[in-house]
A = this chain, B = another copy of it.
Amino acid sequence: MRGLHLTADLYQCRCEPRWLTDAEALGDWTRQAAEAVGLDVLEEVARPTAEDGSVTAVLVLAHSHVCLHTWPAQRAATVDVYLASSRADMSAKARGLIYALVNRFAPEWTEQRSLDRGTEGE
């Protein structure tokens, strides 16, 4: 099991406001972005999470997940892409996907981190 976990916290997002409040649109778009980098999405959850319009989109993949949470009042969002596999190196797909997800929100600034997870050969 080896995996790459990328996190991105996005501020002052300049995207159309609906991307921060329309759960269905965000969920659909996130799934399409994952499929575009060759990922097999097993399940998708996209729903409002608070009265201020905040939404969450989650994709479940084998041993892996993608989670987005929006904060429309602050024009902010958080993004997680964690891809793991016992066979393939998923890092190129993880980097490609988070790049697409971050760009969707057009943030003025971001804080991004990268965690190598798991052990090689186990």
Residues in A lying within 8 Å of B, measured CB to CB:
1, 3, 5, 7, 9, 11, 42-43, 45, 47, 49-50, 54, 56, 58, 60-65, 67, 69, 71, 73-74, 76, 78, 80, 82, 84, 86, 111, 113, 115, 117-119, 122
Chain A interface helix/strand/loop/mixed: strand
Cβ–Cβ < 8 Å partners of A47 in chain B: 42-43, 60
Q: Which residue from B3, B49, B61, B74 sits with its C-beta under 8 Å from A49?
A: B61
Number of copies: 2
Cβ–Cβ < 8 Å partners of A9 in chain B: 117-119
Q: 13 A–B contact pairs at CB < 8 A?
A: A9-B119, A11-B122, A42-B47, A42-B49, A47-B60, A49-B62, A49-B63, A54-B63, A58-B60, A63-B71, A64-B69, A71-B86, A115-B115
Cβ–Cβ < 8 Å partners of A115 in chain B: 7, 113, 115
Q: How far is the CA of A49 from the CA of B1 in the complex (A)?
A: 14
Q: How far is the CA of A23 from the CA of B43 in the complex (A)?
A: 14
Contact in complex: A62, B54 (CB < 8 Å):
yes
Cβ–Cβ < 8 Å partners of A71 in chain B: 1, 63, 86
Which 6 A-B pairs give the minimum distances between C-beta atoms? A49-B62, A63-B69, A65-B67, A50-B62, A1-B71, A74-B122
